[in-house]
Amino acid sequence: MMGSRAARFTMTDEDAVTGLWLIGIGPGDLDHMTERARSVARECSKRFLEGYTAVLPPSEEERLESVVGSWERLMRDEVEKPDKLLELARTGPVALLIVGDPMQATTHIDLEERCAEKGIGFHVIPGLSATTLAVSLSGLQSYRFGRQVTIPFSVGKYLPTSPLEMICRNKDAGLHTLVLLDLDPTGMGVENPRPMVPGEAVSLLERMGERIKNSSKALDRPIKDWSGMLLSDLGTEEERVVSGTLGGLSEIDGGYVHAFILPAEFSGMEEVAFERRRLTH
């Protein structure tokens, strides 16, 4: 029980009691949903798919109704200004279906606070996340990862350099970086996402590098020559993990949702794992 008569936060309720249920549906393939996630989602009176912090492949989105029942999509405004959502959750069980693991996004942590303030029940069913899968499938040591970053689309002349600065700080500290690629070219979170492709991400990193050259030892050589791993469509049948130079990885076609891992210097058996995933033509 949280203080000041706040809403209860639990991950163990047996039935879909009244309140807001954040349900993790896995990274891409609905077969990764736990039976509990499926059961509770079906018991809820309303189901909404959160559609802007992460996305389902179109084929899995088509399956969703057969797995959990009818659903509606909620985009950024309706999640960040959730008055309608919370009023529904005040009188019955409402599911917010989230690709991956629900509490990895600050947007969803904010929903916990809002429920606590309004005395609305708040419940979480965790899900397998692509970020966890990425580290696991890379063959690199999880304790050697620094802060993860997201490469955003450039809108007009706006191009933040902070993602590359964080990657360089991680490298300088001997830490690997998990790099997520943006999903929304508009930056508004109101339209159906269009995931960034590897070539766009590498081009954006190069543009950032031009703006902050000489700020890190990592920038002493061209970004296209950096070693990296490309991880595509994790948790689906189309899953792919390949390593090589960013220049080579940027030319890969296909796939839907992508991420990079940009390693620092390897330790122990990490280099062997990297080479085992080496891109071959």
Sign of CA dihedral 165, 168, 172, 178: positive
Domain count across the chain? 2
Q: Are residues 139 and 94 in the same domain?
A: no
pLDDT at 128: 93
Could you identify the residue written with the tokens 């009188």?
91
Decide if 29 is inside a domain.
Answer: yes
**Which of 87, 102, 128 corresponds to the end of one domain?**
128
pLDDT value at residue 281: 59
Which tens digit of pLDDT belongs to each residue from 172-200?
A: 999 999 999 998 877 656 567 789 999 99
Q: How many residues does the chain have?
A: 281
Q: What pLDDT is attached to residue 175?
A: 98
Please name which of 243, 216, 215, 213 lies closest in space to residue 228, comparing C-alpha atoms.
243
Taking residues 101-128, report their average pLDDT. Answer: 92
DSSP 186: T
In a domain, 4, yes or no: no
Domain identity same for 37 and 104: yes
Mean pLDDT score of the chain, rounded to an integer?
90
CB-based burial, 201-216: b 16+ in 10 Å, e otherwise: bbebbbebbeeeeeeb
Domain at 15, CATH number:
3.40.1010.10
Task: Decide if pLDDT at 87 tops 60.
Answer: yes
pLDDT recorded at residue 5: 40
Burial 52-63 (b: 16+ CB within 10 A, else e): bbbbbbeebbee
At 129 the pLDDT is: 92
173 and 236 inside one domain:
yes
> Please, which pLDDT band fits residue 8 given cuts at 50, 70 and 90?
very low
CA of residue 229 relative to chain centroid, distance? 17
pLDDT in tens, 130-179: 999 999 999 999 999 999 999 999 988 889 999 999 999 999 999 999 99
Q: Which two tokens stand for residue 57?
A: 């492949």
Nearest alpha carbon to residue 175 among 220, 129, 218:
218
Say whether pLDDT at 99 is over 80. yes
**What is the CB neighbour count within 10 angstroms for residue 128?**
20
Q: Is residue 3 part of a domain?
A: no
Measured N-to-C along each axis, helices 106-118 and 83-91 cross at an angle, to the nearest 10 degrees, of 50
Residue 9 has pLDDT above 80, yes or no: no
3-state secondary structure of 80: helix
Report pLDDT for 14: 52
Residue 7 has pLDDT above 70, yes or no: no
> 270 and 139, same structural domain?
yes
Q: Give the position of tokens 């969703």.
A: 64
Whether 91 shows a pLDDT value over 50: the answer reads yes
Tokens of 73: 């999509």
Q: Could you say which of 90, 109, 128 is where a domain stops?
A: 128
100 with 235, same domain: the answer is: no
CB-based contact 38:67 (threshold 8 Å):
yes
Mean pLDDT computed over 245-273: 95
The verdict on 16 and 113 lying in the same domain is yes
Looking at the structure, tell me whether residues 91 and 66 fall in a common domain.
Answer: yes
DSSP string, 91-142: HSEEEEEESB-GGGSHHHHHHHHHHHHHT--EEEE----HHHHHHHHHTS-G
Is 281 contained in some domain?
Answer: no
Query: Does the pLDDT of residue 280 top 80, yes or no?
Result: no
Q: What was the pLDDT predicted at 192?
A: 73
Tell me the residue range of the domain where 237 lies.
131-276
What are 35-63's pLDDT values in tens digits? 999 999 999 999 999 988 888 888 999 99
Pair 143, 271 in one domain: yes
Examine the domain organization and report whether 241 and 136 are in the same domain: yes
